[in-house]
Amino acid sequence: MSGLLQKSVEKGALGSISSVSSTATSYQGPAMKFELVGKCSKSKARAATMKLPHGTVETPMFMPVGTQASLKGLTYEQLKDLGCKICLNNTYHLGLKPGQETLDTVGGAHKLQGWNGNILTDSGGFQMVSLLKLATITEEGVNFLSPHDGSPMLLTPEHSMSLQNSIGSDIMMQLDDVVATLTTGPRVEEAMHRSIRWLDRCIKSHKNPDTQNLFAIIQGGLDLDLRRQCCAEMAARDTPGIAIGGLSGGEDKESYCRVVSLCTDLLPANKPRYCMGVGYAEDLVVSVALGADLFDCVYPTRTARFGNAITRFGNLNLRSRKYMDDFSPVEEGCGCPICKPKSEGGLGITRSFIFHLAAKETAGAHLLTLHNVYYQLELMRRARRAILQDSYPDFVKQFFHDLYNGDREKYPSWAITALKTVNIDL
């Protein structure tokens, strides 16, 4: 293991050797300082501060997705007011528009967007698979047809790194070989091994290790043995953080929880763990209990545009006529700018008004986007507070109680099972 690490350091792709000597509760890399500040005494839930080049992020943290360099319809003032410290951009989309050349000219995505918080970028590989049916994967990289002119193109780990270097994201992801989660058989193993080889290529071609953190991605489908192997290999490469990938693709929740729990057991405790593409409130709460720190999903913003509000008491489809004359706030007691009554400095928006705007005026979507993003951020803030007070199990219980109106019969069995493994009995 140390041999591998030594090799990487020689390549100059990683941070200073001091990272090795860091204690088990903190990690100091050239572009990140990660420090555990609290741990649940029962479950694996943990709270940490993560100092990144563009400010400190307190975990557990949900990161909203600004696919094409803007969070759907919001301005960065609004995003800051919600307390957001880090958001996502998609490498694939930014590579197409505005394009690498533009990003290089203007000096990166932070500058372009006027956003001085942190940015995390994916590798672009996921979009290859999700958007482009004709993508084929070879050892060299992902072959796909350009959506613009249909010409064949190739995304290699080197190209992905180069793009992410141009974007200048604070956290960048390795290119991994993504297979649909439900795939079984040798293809999964092949993808796992290839992802490891691609990580090495990514590390080698990463130009700015002093200002940008490269995260590895654990693959291996739902096969726990493959995941084990992958965790060991990836951890050995000593990237500043590690993501658990290849999930949230239609697998059953039990398997999801098993994989996450296994990975958090094996991964170094002093580094952030990022559950990619996880976004439902229940998944967040359970995954935090299983030891994950970072999450991202388009769900809160996308569902807002369909007129859906995420609330503590369940989701509301505000396009339904039953909300036409419902003059209560979207979520009673919510502290977001739209739900807070006017007397407390909020907007005092009602369900009726959202119904009136939903799917007709974009301002309706903006309002719900504000609410939903706030909800996700606040959920994680509350989780963090609970962890720091060592009352996370109570928080989890209250969360499910609110969500299902106290009806234990309705609690999802996967959540009960998963939480039991970390000593939380719903």
Partner 1 sequence: MTSDSMASSSFQTIKAASSSTSLARIGALKVRSNSSPVRTPTFLCPTSRGVIPHLSPDNVVKCETTASVGALISVEDFMEKAPQQNSALLKYPGPTRDLFSFPSKFGLALSHRRPVPVPSPQANFDDKVSVMTPEGFKYMTVDMYSEFITKFEPDMVFSIPDIPNLSPGGKPGNNRAQKMLKRTEKWLDELLEQRSKHTTGFEIFAPILPGLAAEFQSNYLQKIKSDARITGISLWNAQAARLSERQAELAKKRDVAKHSGASLDGEAAISTVTSYVKALHEDVSRLAVAYNSGLETPHEVLDLVNSGVDLFVATGINDFTDAGVALDFTFPASEEHPDFGFNLWDPKYATDMTNFGRANRDTVPNTYYRAYVHHLLNAREMTSWVLLQMHNIAVFNRFFEGIQKSIENGTFEQEREKFVKVYGTSEEVQVFRDLYKKKDSVPTVRGYHISYESEVIRRGEGSTQRLNDPPFKKYKEDASQN
Binding-site residues sit at 122-126, 176, 219, 246, 334, 336, 339, 371
Rounded to whole angstroms, the Cα distance separating 155 from 144 reads: 8
Overall size of the chain counted in residues: 426
Choose between 28 and 169: whose C-beta lies nearer to partner 1: 169
* Residue 7: how many other CB atoms lie within 10 Å: 14
Query: Minimum distance between the CB of residue 123 and partner 1, rounded to whole angstroms?
Result: 20
Choose between 252 and 325: whose C-beta lies nearer to partner 1: 325
Choose between 209 and 329: whose C-beta lies nearer to partner 1: 329
The answer to whether the beta carbons of residues 259 and 12 sit under 8 Å apart is no
Helices (H), 215-361: 224-236, 253-266, 281-289, 299-305, 351-357
Among 29, 30, 38, 73, binds partner 1 (CB under 8 A): 73
Among 126, 274, 353, 392, binds partner 1 (CB under 8 A): 353
DSSP 23-36: -TTEEE-SS-EEEE
How many residues make contact with partner 1 (CB under 8 A)? Answer: 50
The active-site residue, picked from 170, 296, 325, 394, is: 296
Helices (H), 71-124: 76-81, 91-94, 100-106, 109-113
Choose between 80 and 197: whose C-beta lies nearer to partner 1: 80
Is residue 149 among the annotated active site residues? no
What ranges make up the beta strands (E) of 6-155?
26-28, 33-39, 46-52, 55-59, 61-64, 86-89, 118-121, 136-137, 142-145, 152-155
Residue 352 is classified by DSSP as H
Examine residue 356 and tell whether it contacts partner 1 (CB under 8 A).
yes
Among 37, 54, 98, 162, binds partner 1 (CB under 8 A): 98
Stretch 293-352 residues interacting with partner 1 (CB under 8 A): 324-325, 327, 337-338, 342, 347-350, 352
Is residue 296 among the annotated active site residues? yes
Choose between 361 and 394: whose C-beta lies nearer to partner 1: 361
Examine residue 72 and tell whether it contacts partner 1 (CB under 8 A).
yes
Among 185, 246, 243, 191, which residue's Cα sits nearest to residue 214? 243
Examine residue 34 and tell whether it contacts partner 1 (CB under 8 A).
no
* Interface contacts to partner 1, rule CB under 8 A: 68-78, 93, 97-98, 102, 105-107, 111-114, 133, 145, 147, 149-150, 324-325, 327, 337-338, 342, 347-350, 352-353, 356-357, 360-367, 370
What amino acid positions are annotated as catalytic residues?
Answer: 122, 296
